[in-house]
Structure 1
Amino acid sequence: MAGDPQILWRRLDLPGHDACRIWQDSSGQGLDGVAVWLDAAGPAHLSYLVVCDDVWRTRSARVQGRVGQREITLSIQRSPEGDWRIGGEEIPDLHGLQDIDLGFTPATNTLPIRRMRASGSDGGDLAAAWLDAADWRLKLLPQTYRLAGDIWHYASPRHDFAADLSVNTDGFVTDYPGLWIEEGADGKP
């Protein structure tokens, strides 16, 4: 669709970019994009596709590409009952979670933000199935989101991490302090 919202992020902690779009068609809705960056292992490029249901709960995700010399091809499924599988292997610790968090991109912050906005919620405590880019495994990641004015306060207590996220009308993070910024948002091309 020509009207699908899109964004280009620049990575701030390492050289890199991520181009993402929100798509919607008769089969569902979701995100797709490509992240490229200079990883400690070497040049990295990963494409991703996240398919969601009508209220932005993850149904599946696919990640494919390379990080240095490592080939990455991951197929992640979430059943309607909330069971998570990666490459067909069930991950019992993730049962009941609604969101995927792809640790190499800010794109997946869009999922809970869009769901909370649609329900009129100003935040909540939740957890995501987090794809840890250190070992490419899915792990439980408790998270909180709180809306304060135009800013979403995000926290990951397990990692002692918090950030105030600027978010546009489409639900894309436009400023993730120290990590990502919408290309051009800081006045740089």
Structure 2
Amino acid sequence: METNILWSGREYFSLENCLIKSGNQGNLITSVIVGYYEEKIYKVDYRIETDAHWHTQVLEIHCFHDHHVFSNLLQADAHGSWTCNGMPVPELDGCIDVDIPVTPLTNTLPIRRLQLPHKETREINVVYCDVLARNIRRVAQQYTCLSDTAYHYQNVPNDFEATIQTDRSGFVVDYPELFVRKAVSIRSQQL
């Protein structure tokens, strides 16, 4: 299956064209984001590879912002150990998902992977890739399933929270104050 989504960023004043190719072996996500933040234009290209259960295996990301280039290749092995540009990053060990704050796509990764039952809450650790600040770190997040299409998200400790509306596939439709889906196109095609 191939899903193409166009998101508009509210806070990051952005437009994202994201392509998700899903098959029996996993998911390949490629995307381009252009935007304007803190009076500076930016562009982000990223590629995420997951297995069939939405465990992140690869994040390749390139960002041009404020005349700086931020480019990294993060890879996870089957034991939850991470490398960045080929070098081990032990502080990220145990993280399964990645979070890129300029896209709502990375909220889909834990939503699809966790498959939370109604009213269940789960705290997870993620690789937080803040491309505009040019840093990568481990952060804790919490997801609560409110319905088939609504999830409450919190940073831990709680300095930000929102109720995210998704479609039945777990792709963000409305992320209050941050993102809104403008268009979607779906077609059957194997990866």
Q: TM-score w.r.t. structure 1 length?
A: 0.87
1:51 aligns with 2:49: yes
Cα drift, residue 81 of structure 1: 1.1
Point out where structure 2 has 5 or more consecutive residues left out of the alignment: 185-191
Distance in 2 of aligned mates of 1:102 and 1:14:
12
Question: Which amino acid counterpart does residue 116 of structure 1 have in structure 2?
Answer: L
Alignment of 1:98-109 (within 5 A): 98-109=96-107
Point out where structure 1 has 5 or more consecutive residues left out of the alignment: none
Cα drift, residue 129 of structure 1: 0.7
Distance in 2 of aligned mates of 1:142 and 1:14:
22
What SS does structure 2 have at the residue aligned with 1:48?
strand
Distance in 2 of aligned mates of 1:159 and 1:87:
31
Cα drift, residue 125 of structure 1: 1.1
Give the CA RMSD over aligned residues.
2.1
What does residue 164 of structure 1 align with? Answer: 163
Identity %: 25
Cα deviation 1:1-57 (Å, max 9, x = unaligned): xx4112111111132111212212476313221111112362111111100112111
Distance in 2 of aligned mates of 1:81 and 1:108:
21
What SS does structure 2 have at the residue aligned with 1:183?
strand
Indicate which of 5, 17, 20 corresponds to 1:19.
Answer: 17
Q: How many residue pairs get matched?
A: 182
Distance in 1 of aligned mates of 2:178 and 2:39:
19
What does residue 131 of structure 1 align with? Answer: 129
Indicate which of 10, 28, 37 corresponds to 1:39.
Answer: 37
Indicate which of 48, 73, 76 corresponds to 2:74.
Answer: 76
